[in-house]
Amino acid sequence: MKKLKIGILTLPLHSNYGGLLQAYALLFVLKEMGHDAWLINYRNKKSKVRLVLSYLKRYILKYFLKKDVKISPFKEEEFIRSNTQRFINEHIQPQTKAFYTPKALSSKIISYNFDAFIVGSDQVWRPQYVTKIEDYFFGFVKDKQLKRMSYAASFGSNDWNYSEEQTEKCKRYIQLFNAVSVRENSGLELCKEHFKVNATHVLDPTMLLDVKDYLNLVNINKSTYKPKGGILIYILDETPDIKITIDSISSTLNLSTFKVNNNKTYDKKASLKDRVAPPVEDWVIGFYDADFVIADSFHACLYSIIFNKPFVIYGNARRGMTRFTSILSKLDLEDRLIYSSEELRQEELNNNIDWNSVNKKLEKLKADSFAFLRDNL
């Protein structure tokens, strides 16, 4: 296989553990295949008006209301992301310079002399999440001879959220792709119906790595993380009914609960020191250490499977359900998904998951996903 210099385009990296780990995983896999893989550091630019208002608000909070904030929103974000940024600096490398506008991306990317471009994974094809959706179909790549493809790209929804103009432009760009792959079954249908292209279903890149790869990444023997055991709780959108679910499972299994995230990270009312996001390594080790997992997060679902931990996923419709149903159906784990505490069946909690069967299905899906990359690069 010819060694290629590849530019990977994904959503901007922040404190989202799943987003960070999928970017890391795809870089890792491509490097293991012998390629020179880079992350394209494309950022969402904040409007000048919002930026000025943000500075003004912080000034009032700090000097008049005596709140624990930093005047600069960038300094505040840097403080909150100190642990996750260290992970990016150490493990999600190399990267291009930061591009803050579509114009800068289009004019400067040529200087990196990439042989190929890959967009993915995560919800890169969800227009609400990006500045300019056409860029995530490589509208900025002028040389039509360069390879371009998607790996596990996600629309994040069963619904079509593109305007007519966006649909036509992205359709024209995607038809220049050498290969198209998506993360969900629904993505296959959306590509066919709206872009008139055939796509391949592949796994999220985090599932391409083995358990040993993750244990090497977090260096578990040197970690300062203190094992807790019990039920790992990773809930992004807490509700009273989720609390009922957690209490019920904890009581049935007679296990205490613990968390690997900081629910105050995005709480602007909390003090700055209380908002720091925990290290990515601790997040991963939490799944390795857990006896059971309760989550409403897609990547928490994946890491439960990777580490063979019994789990219950509480359906989070606001964040997109197709991601969950697609992977769970392929592994015959649909019974681990519930939408309310009333759907929880106590007897199911004591039924062991047939991990031998799950892992065999997963290995087949991994082989197909690796083949997609090898055959199209």
Q: Strand, helix or coil at 183? A: coil
Domain boundaries, the chain: 5-47+77-208+365-376, 224-357
CB 110 within 8 A of CB 142: yes
- Continuous segment of H or E residues that includes residue 321: none
The reported pTM is 0.92
Q: For residue 28, how many other CB atoms are within 10 A of its CB?
A: 20
pLDDT of the residue at 205 = 98
Mean pLDDT by 10 residues, the chain (377 residues): 94 94 98 98 70 59 69 76 95 97 95 97 94 96 95 94 97 98 97 98 98 89 69 94 96 94 85 90 94 96 97 85 93 95 82 92 98 97
Same-fold call for 5-47+77-208+365-376 versus 224-357: yes
Class of domain 5-47+77-208+365-376: alpha beta
CA–CA distance, 76 with 63 (Å, rounded to integer) = 16
Count of residues in the chain: 377
For 31, list phi and psi in degrees, rounded to 5.
-65, -40
* Token duo for residue 137: 């179909």
Does domain 224-357 sit in CATH 3.40.50.2000? yes
CA–CA distance, 186 with 150 (Å, rounded to integer) = 15
pLDDT of the residue at 54 = 60
pLDDT of the residue at 271 = 83
For residue 9, the Cα-to-chain-centroid distance in whole angstroms is 13
pLDDT of the residue at 320 = 74
